[in-house]
Amino acid sequence: MNLNHLPLFLLFLVPLVHSQVCQRFCGDIPLRYPFGGGPGCGDPRFTKHVTCNQRQLSFITHTGSYPVTNIDYNKQVLYVSDPTMSTCFCTQPSKGFSLDWDAPFSFDDSSVFALLDCSLDSSPIYKGAINGNTSNVPQCDNAGTPLCSSLYSCQPISQLNVPINTCCVYAPMDLGPAFEMDLQKAQCKAYTAIYSFEDQEANPEVWKYGVALKYKFNVKNDYPVYCSNCEKSNGACAYTGIYNTFVCNCPSGVNTSTDCYFQNSWNSGLRNAPWIKGTLIFYSIVLLLLSISL
């Protein structure tokens, strides 16, 4: 079939056919802009950093994949856990935690890191070992910080049999221009991260362990109006094409350039009109012929 012989409006019909429906949930975690759980959904800047695979939402960096435990859309904070991280209930060796330099994330002010079992014999921990700062400022308090004292009340950590001054606290967290916490370079064997003390700083068994990451929609951090209108119409913000053009992904799988309100009229009876049925049959035949000819 020669496409040049088809009416022009039929050529514009083809791009509207879309079989993919953007996920509204990944496991128990709701997905809203800027997250979409897969290619073509959400904001393209976030797609490679946050993915959904087998009902597990994961945060991806060059150092590994970290399970996402929760998303606070009001505060714009993503919470992740690190399977290699130590807590009050277990200790294990780790290589550290890192962010990709181009990721639209930064550490939330609630994030606190504590490096555990660090060597102080020949190379004390300095800022430069973590965030690239060349100043020789020791980060381990010989007297022990209150956070370290609380951590050492945990049996797994106390069984490390290392002095309390080998615990080094970083708050607020700053990985510097490299966006990388290299525990090997810092000469530490493990670390833990806390994003909430649950108003019980002396009780590490109730702390919230994990990393809190702040995200922004754009430079001005404005929620896109077109995306808000799309979500109000029960659509999901998505993108398409080589220029990542915005589209509103409707529950039916159809993409529109605005919103999904047209489906209300469709579902209320318009689709049962005789001319609609005849048009759909005609369009279906044309699309079938197009797929065969191509």
Q: What is the pLDDT of residues 133-178, one digit of tens each?
A: 544 444 554 445 688 899 999 999 999 888 888 888 877 666 665 6
Alpha carbon separation from 273 to 190, 221, 228, 261, 269 (Å, rounded): 67, 44, 31, 18, 7
Indicate the SS3 state at residue 288: helix
Give the span between the Cα atoms of 246 and 65, in whole angstroms.
Answer: 28
Residue 217 has pLDDT above 80, yes or no: yes
Is the separation of the CB atoms in 170 and 138 below 8 Å? no
Q: Tell me which residue of 85, 83, 64, 88 sits closest to 191, measured CA to CA.
A: 85
Q: What local confidence, expressed as pLDDT, does residue 170 receive?
A: 77
CA-nearest of 37, 30, 24, 44 to 260 is: 24
Burial of residue 247 (CB within 10 Å: 0-12, 13-18, 19+) is buried
Percent of residues, the chain, with pLDDT higher than 70: 71
Residue 108 near residue 138, CB atoms below 8 Å: no
Q: How far apart are CA 283 and CA 14, in angstroms?
A: 10
Candidates 291, 77, 78, 23; CA nearest to 69 is 78
Token couple for 137:
């400022």
**CB–CB of 129/184 below 8 Å?**
no
Which pLDDT score, from 0 to 100, does residue 138 have?
46
6-27 pLDDT per residue, tens: 454 444 443 444 447 999 999 9
Q: What is the pLDDT of residues 232-256, one digit of tens each?
A: 999 999 999 999 999 999 998 899 9
pLDDT at 267 over 60: no
pLDDT digits (tens, 9 = 90+) for 78-126: 999 999 999 999 999 998 888 888 889 999 989 888 889 988 764 445 4
Please report the pLDDT score of residue 198 as a whole number. 94
Give the Cα separation of 255 and 233 in Å (integer). 13
The position carrying tokens 């398409």 is: 240
pLDDT tens, position by position, 189-205: 999 999 999 999 999 99
pLDDT for position 280 = 47
Length of the chain equals 294
Distance CA 46, CA 53 (A): 15
How many other CB atoms sit within 10 Å of the CB of residue 201? 13
Q: What is the rounded distance in angstroms from the CA atom of residue 135 to the CA atom of residue 58?
A: 35
Cβ partners under 8 Å of residue 266, min gap 6 = none
